[in-house]
Structure 1
């Protein structure tokens, strides 16, 4: 047998493609050629595979070896192809059963001693293999728990290349090597978000937080330091319902590719929360890296919350790159090696001081900033960005007599009821929450009576709202109606939504 086959999976963004790995042995001078658009890490598989085969006690074929990764036009990256290349090469040499090996997808990186090391993105890779009709998959032992989360997959975990070869009948003694453990994810996937009852007073801000949670709307909070902006933002995930099965798989896939997934905890069921520091770079927020880019904080916050504290302190490049995911719910990153798409339908929460010193509240008597400094500071949040923020609120200074409001559990039940009303209304559409629904669909549901939107028409004529802003006000109005248990918003709901968007100015 001079031709061996195996299967692997290439990840381009979150899209996974099954790749056929062919190894051909020719009677010529010994050489090893890898073709099919490999990147630098994948091209180095030649040396890793050769060392792993000999370390496992298997004979290395001294022939001209050509390994093809098909489809050849698809960019391929990473070390996850090592095991498939090794199995295909050994199958071509006639060591394992070529027919059995050629029907299995192999994922994993090889160490020089022949041990299998875990790789990222196993969950979407195994899901793609099953969808393509290849349910039998071999993965490193450290990735076994993650791979078993995919329904319909027949997964085998292996600690070494020798163990995999022995599965197919190769005459090799399986060494007693300790399995390589999985890397610990960098920090917990979901921390305790606290209880909303911890925030004293701030009734308006609490109401805005509830509206944002109920409809999936973006939120801006402006207030002096110590008014509770960060506490409120941190408690938003606790108001959101659990992710459904499809969303949980999608979110878990993103975290698997990013390397922040803990398979021991199962699928990610709670909405994630990301709060990058204001010194973060655009690549760390929206994704980046050499070759095919990795997901950033915006994608890791998919179906959850992305919180930018001290938002005006973020660079303009970071803030402007958020406009695409805010509008389309995904990040598209173009690189020389290709384009990667990652889902990024998150709730954006911005927190900002009213001025650089933070004391421009009320009459601003204690503020030390000049008027042009105040304007320049807040102008860092550009008009196009703020035009995509549905709910905006100004927080007053905290009062000693501030009372505690409803806790997170009580508010979460109201949010769940509003989400259930939206699910019922949108059950025949591709949308899930009011924040995703196009304005035309919402206007058609209001009927031909223009009296309900008279306030919006006047705001549009005065230039207070853009056409996008009109649609977003309607979305918030529908959320207010859902929270109050009404089938459709009234003129009062639309007026309240307009006030929430403009922070009470120009309504």
Structure 2
């Protein structure tokens, strides 16, 4: 009957490879097949998408065999970030929305059963890659903090599937994300080196480390001020460049490890316990549902 192609992105660490969501509608025994190395969370999208389309008032193609291919097939797909792209692909293949814009757009978002869009993790790496392709992005309104950090990227904020439909039909345009000045957000308050009394040799080592971008190792018994000195290193470092700020924001975006926009581009001091293993210190482990390592 019809074939539609929609673009979105996977999440592998802090990288966001392009995924082409190909939706084919064919006559035959009704069914919904998904291929392309999808994980269980991705396969469950068939039920979420079908229910969301029907509850949002759209026509779910009757007596139709739906095949969704997530290409390239050798990239593992996890999470619910593909829901919106799959739903848009079904609507485009069934002729309910125009497909003229789909080549210049990417879609991200998890669908609730009501058709509402929920936030997804790892949006900043996806938007940075989307910007390189010069495409516009449709993102959940709950991700507006992250969307505003990526400069020169047009991102439309959608609350639900219906609002995306109205925008694509040019009935009711979506709100575009507002740029956030990450340079103002990157300031952190970890203390001032002037607060440290004594420890002149350690303070000079901090200054040399910050000026020359050298590694620094503090060794000593508990209570001698190692952590206090380390916390004040961030106040000596120069302002973040845009590339550095986006690298920090990408890591926090992947792990949902932030509270508010101001925390996305702040340098942080990590204080691992002294009993942690070498593998734990460098980030060993398995990937969980939020792609943490």
Instruction: Please give the range of the TM-score, normalised by the shorter of the 2 chains.
Output: 0.7 to 0.9
When residues 146 and 110 of structure 1 are mapped into structure 2, their CA distance, relative to the original with a 3 A threshold, is same
Tell whether 2:51 aligns with 1:51: yes
Aligned partners of 2:51 and 2:27: how far apart in 1? 21
Number of residue pairs matched by the alignment: 279
Q: Taking structure 2 as the reference length, what is the TM-score of the superposition?
A: 0.85
Written as runs of structure 1 = structure 2, the 5 A alignment for 1:75-474 is 75-133=76-134, 135-169=135-169, 192-262=189-259, 264-265=261-262, 268=265, 270-278=266-274, 280=276, 282-283=279-280, 285-290=282-287, 294-295=291-292
Aligned partners of 1:193 and 1:243: how far apart in 2? 16
User: CA offset at residue 283 of structure 1?
Assistant: 4.7
User: CA offset at residue 47 of structure 1?
Assistant: 1.2
When residues 283 and 164 of structure 1 are mapped into structure 2, their CA distance, relative to the original with a 3 A threshold, is farther
Higher relative contact order structure (alpha carbons within 8 Å, sequence separation ≥ 6): 2
Partner of 2:67: 66
Aligned partners of 1:257 and 1:283: how far apart in 2? 18
User: CA offset at residue 189 of structure 1?
Assistant: 8.9
User: CA offset at residue 57 of structure 1?
Assistant: 1.2
Structure with bigger helix share is 1
CA contact (8 A) 1:107 1:138 kept: yes
CA contact (8 A) 1:22 1:67 kept: yes
Partner of 2:16: 16
Aligned partners of 1:295 and 1:284: how far apart in 2? 14
Aligned partners of 1:51 and 1:105: how far apart in 2? 22
User: CA offset at residue 7 of structure 1?
Assistant: 0.9
CA contact (8 A) 1:137 1:154 kept: yes
User: CA offset at residue 285 of structure 1?
Assistant: 5.0
When residues 90 and 287 of structure 1 are mapped into structure 2, their CA distance, relative to the original with a 3 A threshold, is farther
Q: 148-157 or 54-63, which moves further after superposition?
A: 148-157
CA contact (8 A) 2:188 2:267 kept: no
CA contact (8 A) 1:12 1:292 kept: no
> What do you get for the CA RMSD once the two structures are aligned?
2.7
Partner of 1:344: none
User: CA offset at residue 139 of structure 1?
Assistant: 0.3
Partner of 2:31: 31
Aligned partners of 1:41 and 1:283: how far apart in 2? 27
Written as runs of structure 1 = structure 2, the 5 A alignment for 1:459-498 is none
Aligned partners of 1:132 and 1:280: how far apart in 2? 41
Partner of 1:360: none
Is the partner of 2:9 in helix, strand or coil? strand
User: CA offset at residue 72 of structure 1?
Assistant: 1.8
User: CA offset at residue 204 of structure 1?
Assistant: 1.6
Partner of 1:313: none
Q: After TM superposition, what 4+ stretches of structure 1 lie above 4 angstroms from structure 2?
A: 188-191
Is the partner of 1:60 in helix, strand or coil? coil
User: CA offset at residue 87 of structure 1?
Assistant: 0.4
Radius of gyration: which is bigger?
A: 1
Aligned partners of 1:292 and 1:117: how far apart in 2? 15
User: CA offset at residue 266 of structure 1?
Assistant: 8.0
Aligned partners of 1:96 and 1:289: how far apart in 2? 40
Aligned partners of 1:132 and 1:147: how far apart in 2? 16
Aligned partners of 1:86 and 1:115: how far apart in 2? 12
Aligned partners of 1:41 and 1:189: how far apart in 2? 35
When residues 123 and 91 of structure 1 are mapped into structure 2, their CA distance, relative to the original with a 3 A threshold, is same
CA contact (8 A) 1:4 1:102 kept: no
Aligned partners of 1:279 and 1:261: how far apart in 2? 26
